[in-house]
Amino acid sequence: MAVTIKDVAKLSGVSISTVSRVINDSKPVSPEVKRKVLEVIEEIGYKPNEIARTLVTKKSYLIGVIVTDLADSYVADMVRGIEEVGKMYNYDILLCSTYGDKEAELKYIQLLNRKQVEGMILISDTINDEIDEKISEYSIPFVYLSRYSKFDKYPTVSIDYHFAAYEITKYLIKLGHKNIGFVGYLEDENSTQIEKYEGYSKAMEEMELDPSFIFETQGISIGHGYEALDQSIIKNELTALFCSNDEIAIGALNYCYDNQINTPEDISVVGFGDISIASLIRPKLTTVKEPFYDIGAVAIRRVIKELRKEDVGEKHIKLPYQIQQRNSCIKI
Amino acid sequence: MAVTIKDVAKLSGVSISTVSRVINDSKPVSPEVKRKVLEVIEEIGYKPNEIARTLVTKKSYLIGVIVTDLADSYVADMVRGIEEVGKMYNYDILLCSTYGDKEAELKYIQLLNRKQVEGMILISDTINDEIDEKISEYSIPFVYLSRYSKFDKYPTVSIDYHFAAYEITKYLIKLGHKNIGFVGYLEDENSTQIEKYEGYSKAMEEMELDPSFIFETQGISIGHGYEALDQSIIKNELTALFCSNDEIAIGALNYCYDNQINTPEDISVVGFGDISIASLIRPKLTTVKEPFYDIGAVAIRRVIKELRKEDVGEKHIKLPYQIQQRNSCIKI
DNA sequence: TTGAAAGCGCTACCAA
DNA sequence: TTGGTAGCGCTTTCAA
């Protein structure tokens, strides 16, 4: 058994109350006594049991984080932001991955609650009613993070997808491109994919360009991007492709590579997100840089503010983004 | 305040002991009473407070995981393995990232201890004496995971780096390559990089080939791989490069791309690790597949076995690996 | 400035 | 099969 506050009290000849006072600096303690107690603590290497502490103070200094999959680098980036800022305020992260399993998600929400987390951050593509209900039930600070979904009942942190898509399309146009295709997943009307499409078409229409070269994907992964392309990009004399996220863009790039279509010489490709691999592949991907790390950081900052009853500001926070110019895209 | 066991007891007209018995199935309870209690629990949505439970049982069902950086995909993969297997045994993960800061690492080890984690897994490149001391001090199950370091005072899970390097070099030789360069970081003699070099040179020497085309890197990142290369790969008529890890290999590939050296046509490149990006880039990287996920899974399995006083087997577990053949490497 | 004691929510022992 | 109760390690009144 580890040393407890009792041992410290006994060895320093004071009551446990006094020991508690010195370790928490909560009430005045005479200098000599304080010195003595500190000495004993140092000597026997006493460390307060955080569990016992939590039981009485109700402060676990734990934030539950539920993610789909850490292997998605943007998720890992968000978690980094969450963790790093959390640590600044002494909060630790209890991590759960669902791999898209909604059952598991529900289970973890309840689990985290039982573990007395003080707040929760959910990173996932969708929220269903069951989940929604549980979250409302436990009235703890909560932030929903998704690069995909527009669900806005709960606080969120994201960027302006519509405008970002608009801007990068404009950028393409400024580079001289006229026949610009859109590659993305359009089935789900409640997704940011739609917003991106709208941004794209707005930019196109403003310049009286045709926004109907659409390659619909069946999802938002690399494979989906790869599968959505076909030789019509050549037939239609497309000179550029706006892919609704980086994964799709990489799929597109790979399709081109495998079919002897040179990028960016034959066709320029831009993505959306700036996930870590975007700058590692060749050609390096021109894309919209979503500040994933900051999104996580701001999310937990909000949770902590709420915990401290500070002003939390806007419910839906929009962060700035950047157009990240690289080599997958050239002037024509 | 959330509902407690007392509320359940009161509402179902039994003692808290009885309620405790039904929620833990620890002692026989008459069917009617059990039914009644369960009913009440369901009705008021009672969930046991895990903190209180932990305080008395000493079982927190928490495993502390300290990592350098989740953004390294292999780290994320290990954490996935840890988490997923942990969940099978009801264990949760308390996650801390150090970003290579040894001070922070030490701090987190202590912190996790205070949070009463039952076991700890450290994923990092090195262990220093201070850290070592703390770990020994808290005598909880511990596993050290590193793809880089050979530190073996504590239980580890890894692969046979020497033999894997030997095998992939053999593979290159079988493909017809004779002038094979080694690219890697050789400063630190306690690293697996050295083992890989030895595996490489053993394979070369066995075939009476020259193992001295060495490109020493200053580290093991993509940038380091990029910087270590120069035109001598052409001058020396090298036809293949064995890079001591995937990052270095990708750096090498990028160097070639940027200098109009075609891969694999002009030069074959193999890596080591099979980090996620390896199969995404073009050409896809031929490499040694280290089972990162399994490494994490086996590590936590060991921790849990130790916790359950089961037989833990070997202190240093070696897992199988594979040569992952892809396109960065061709027959000549 | 200090100590005694109550109590956080729960488990586990003892007695009935 | 049940209830009463001590106690896990700590914080926080309340009195002294």
Nearest-angstrom CA–CA distance, B282 and A299 = 36
The β-bridge partners of B94 are A94, B64
What are the residues with a C-beta under 7 Å from any atom of nucleic chain D?
A 1-2, 4-6, 16-17, 20-21, 23-24, 26-27, 48-49, 52-53, 55-57; B 13-18, 21, 27-30, 32-34, 52, 55-56
What are B265-315's pLDDT values in tens digits? 999 999 999 999 999 999 999 999 999 999 999 999 999 999 999 999 999
pLDDT at B229 over 70: yes
Q: How does residue B167 score in pLDDT terms, banded at 50, 70 and 90? A: very high
pLDDT band at B1; cut points 50, 70, 90: low
- A114·B52 Cβ contact <8 A: no
For A25-47, give one letter per residue: b (16+ CB within 10 A) or e: eeeebeeebbebbeebbeeeebb
pLDDT tens figures, A250-266:
999 999 999 999 999 99
Q: Is the CB of B24 under 7 A from strand C?
A: yes
Interface of B with A in 265-304 (CB under 8 A): 276-277, 280-282
Distance of alpha carbon B160 from alpha carbon B155, whole angstroms: 15
> Would you call A261 exposed, middle or buried from its count of C-beta atoms within 10 A (0-12, 13-18, 19+)?
middle
The DSSP element (H or E) to which A264 belongs, if any, is none
β-pair partners for A63:
A93, A119
Q: Give the separation between CA A176 and CA B48, rounded to whole angstroms.
A: 64
Q: Provide the token pair at A328.
A: 């997958």
The two tokens of residue A177 are 């491109």
Q: Chain B: residue nearest A70 by CA?
A: B76
Note the pLDDT of residue B215: 96
Mean pLDDT of B215-231: 94
Residue B252's closest CA among B315, B307, B321, B180?
A: B180
Residue in this structure with the two tokens 């770990």, named with its chain if needed:
B135
Q: What's this model's pTM, rounded to 2 decimal places?
A: 0.95
Query: Is B69 in Cβ contact with A73 (below 8 Å)?
Result: no
Q: How far apart are CA B270 and CA B290, in angstroms?
A: 14
pLDDT of B231 strictly over 90 = no
CA distances for A118 relative to A153, A310, B151, angstroms? 20, 15, 38
Residue B2: which nucleotide is closest by CA–C1'?
C9
Vertex A184, ends A183 and A185: CA angle to 5°? 150
* For the segment 133-192 of chain B, residues whose CB is within 7 A of strand C: none
B51 touches chain A (CB under 8 A): yes
Which pair of structure tokens corresponds to residue B166?
């030997």
Whole-angstrom Cα distance, residue A184 to residue B289? Answer: 32
Q: What is the number of other CB atoms lying within 10 angstroms of the CB of residue A173? A: 17
- Do A169 and A204 meet the contact criterion of CB atoms below 8 Å apart? yes
pLDDT digits (tens, 9 = 90+) for A170-203: 999 999 999 999 999 999 999 999 999 999 999 9
| Domains along chain A with CATH numbers | 5-57 (1.10.260.40), 62-158+292-318 (3.40.50.2300), 161-289 (3.40.50.2300)
Average pLDDT over residues B193-205: 97
Strands (E), chain A: 62-67, 92-97, 119-123, 142-145, 156-158, 180-184, 214-216, 240-243, 268-270, 287-289, 316-318, 322-324
The answer to whether the beta carbons of residues A267 and A163 sit under 8 Å apart is no
What pLDDT score does B234 carry? Answer: 81
How many other CB atoms are found less than 10 A from the CB of residue B329? 27
CB contact under 8 A, B50 and A97: no
pLDDT score of A1 more than 80: no
**Peptide bond before A283: cis, by omega within 30 degrees of 0?**
yes
How many residues are listed for chain B in this entry?
A: 332
Nearest residue by alpha-carbon distance to C1' of C11 = B56
Q: CB B115 to CB A47 under 8 A?
A: no
pLDDT tens-digit map of B25-38: 988 899 999 999 99
List chain C nucleotides near protein: any atom < 7 Å from a Cβ.
Answer: 1-5, 7-13
**Position B121 confidence tier, pLDDT thresholds 50, 70, 90:** very high
Q: List the structure tokens of B316.
A: 């240093």
Judge whether A50 is closer than 8 Å to chain B, CB to CB.
yes
Among A67, A281, A285, the strongest candidate for a mutation testing the B interface, having the largest count of B CBs within 10 A, is A281
Round and report the angstrom distance from CA (B4) to C1' (C3). 31
Q: How confident is the model at residue B110 (pLDDT cuts 50, 70, 90)?
A: very high
Percent of chain A at pLDDT exceeding 90: 92
Of B248, B251, B23, which is closest to residue B147 (Cα–Cα)?
B248
Is the CB of residue A217 less than 8 Å from the CB of residue A183? yes
List bases in chain D with any atom under 7 Å of a protein Cβ: 1-5, 7-13
What average pLDDT does the segment A141-157 reach?
95
Q: Measure the CA–CA gap between B158 and A282, rounded to whole angstroms.
A: 31
pLDDT the model gives residue A305? 96
What is the structure's pLDDT at A139? 87
Is A69 in contact with A221 (CB distance < 8 Å)? Answer: no
* Mean of per-residue pLDDT scores for chain A: 95
Measuring CA to CA, which residue among B228, B225, B242 is closest to residue B180?
B242
Distances (CA, A) of B280 to A113, B29, B254, B322: 38, 58, 14, 18
Instruction: State the Cα–Cα distance between residues B320 and B217, nearest whole angstrom.
Output: 27
- Sequence length of chain A is 332
d(CA B171, CA B189): 26
CA distance linking residue A143 with residue A82, whole number of Å: 11
Pairing mode of beta strands A180-184, A214-216 = parallel
Mean pLDDT of A20-46: 92
- Please count the residue pairs, one from chain A and one from chain B, whose beta carbons lie less than 8 angstroms apart: 121
Chain B neighbors of A60, CB-CB under 8 A: 51
Rounded distance, CA A85 to CA A82, Å?
A: 6
Confidence of residue A2 (pLDDT cuts 50, 70, 90): confident
Mean pLDDT of chain B: 95
Residue B233 confidence class, pLDDT cut points 50, 70, 90: confident
